Amino acid sequence: MSLEEPPSDLRDQARQNYEHVKNEVVTEGKQSILTKYQVDDFDSVLLIVTAPRGGSSLLFDILRHHEGTCSLDGEHDRWYTLNGICYPAFESDVLPADFESFDREKLLTDLLAEVGATERSGDRTHRVDNALVRLPLQFPNRELPYEQIHERLLAGESLNEILEEFGIPPLQYDEYAVKDASSPFETETIEDRPFVSSHSHKRGLTADDFERTLVLKASGDAYRLPWIREQLLPETDVKVVHLTRNPAASINGLYDGWRLNRGFQTYNVGDLNLEGYNGSLWCYDLPPAWVSEGKLIDVCLLQWAQAHRHILDGRDAFEDVLRVRFEDLLTDTSSTIKEIVEFADLGESALLSENVEDPNKVMTTKEPRHARWRDREDLVKSALNRADETYTEVVEELEYTEESEWI
């Protein structure tokens, strides 16, 4: 299958500025790594797949504190977008397993661009380099003095203050992860705004770090599993964690996210007429059979059901797959993480153990609370009652048939 590249001035501008930053602005150590290595040079990859609002941000944040891992600062969908491997080149987020008309070498290098190694002491230089790598994707239509920004950040200046000098509201960058805007954003970016969350225990890569395990997560990978196995990482040791969450909690979280002005917007699919939504951009993943009219709550159900349907159908492409319930991660964090660590052959990590005892709050739309979906129980159940056979089959296969367990 081939891909006809859609015209995109913004994408071209983002690519041009990103290549400049990657090749001329970031520190020499990072430049060297990106010249010699690609993401498939890691000995092993731990891939977390789930539906959006399925709890993967929490699980990813915990696991990336393991001192035997490397990771990006957030989701990697932006690199697919930069390479045009997304809507509207495809009708949805589904990537056919036989799709091979893409620049594999370039994508594998792009995916490595912000990967760092976990280490207690951390490295501010790594975080500064990553901030510069993301700027062209965040603001593709702006010509910024990247070298000057890089120098000022290394000198300890605040990114927020620097952005404000150039007329860019800091809310459109890292603050977006924890704060809502006053109105929906209408501008196109390459990057998913809220999924940028660095931490202080990361440093730049060295050659030895490719013996570690790379932890990856992006909800869009639910629709890419056979393609990842056959085209992107055909020879890499990839272990898959299939993270599941009960439908009511997931659908409720999606409904919250659609209605917040927090940058969950992903695509401009044309006019939307969804009851319960007043924005103009699509949010989260774009499942097959998506609709532009109807009820928002039904779209949220479609996103949950289709993501898990595709994971269930596609995970057999991998030899090693572990099913993990988000409910278990919440109620028995230590045992659940121990199971994943053993599955991935990661060994012990003091930093991970500390984070398990006191996990960060990440990507929460509201204060976490068990069974929060019952606040709009009637609305959620109305969608479940209208659900089609795909939903019913997925619920049964994932063993979420007992509503009393829907926390």
List pLDDT tens digits, range 328-363: 999 999 999 999 999 999 999 999 999 999 887 665
Separation of CA 398 from chain center: 22
Residues of the chain with pLDDT > 90, as a percent, come to 75
| Residue among 173, 141, 161 nearest 12 (CA) | 141
In order of 48, 75, 298, the CA distances from 57 in angstroms are 10, 9, 24
| Residue among 299, 312, 225, 295 nearest 266 (CA) | 299
Residue 2's pLDDT band, with cuts at 50, 70 and 90, is: very low
> Residue 117: what pLDDT?
98
> What is the phi/psi pair of residue 275, to 5°?
-65, 120
Residue 7's pLDDT band, with cuts at 50, 70 and 90, is: very low
Residue 154's pLDDT band, with cuts at 50, 70 and 90, is: very high
> Residue 263: what pLDDT?
73
Residue 261's pLDDT band, with cuts at 50, 70 and 90, is: confident
| Residue among 171, 170, 136 nearest 150 (CA) | 136
> Residue 91: what pLDDT?
97
Give the predicted TM-score (pTM) of the model.
0.93
Cα–Cα distance, 334 to 175 (Å, whole number): 30
User: For the segment 59-100, what is each residue's pLDDT rounded down to a tens digit?
Assistant: 999 999 999 999 998 889 999 999 999 999 999 999 999 999
> Residue 362: what pLDDT?
62
In terms of pLDDT, which residue wins out, 161 or 395?
A: 395
At residue 195, does pLDDT exceed 90?
Answer: no
Give exposure, 275-284, as e/b (b: 16+ Cβ within 10 Å): eebebebbbb
> Residue 4: what pLDDT?
39
At residue 392, does pLDDT exceed 90?
Answer: yes
> What is the phi/psi pair of residue 88, to 5°?
-95, 5
Residue 178's pLDDT band, with cuts at 50, 70 and 90, is: low
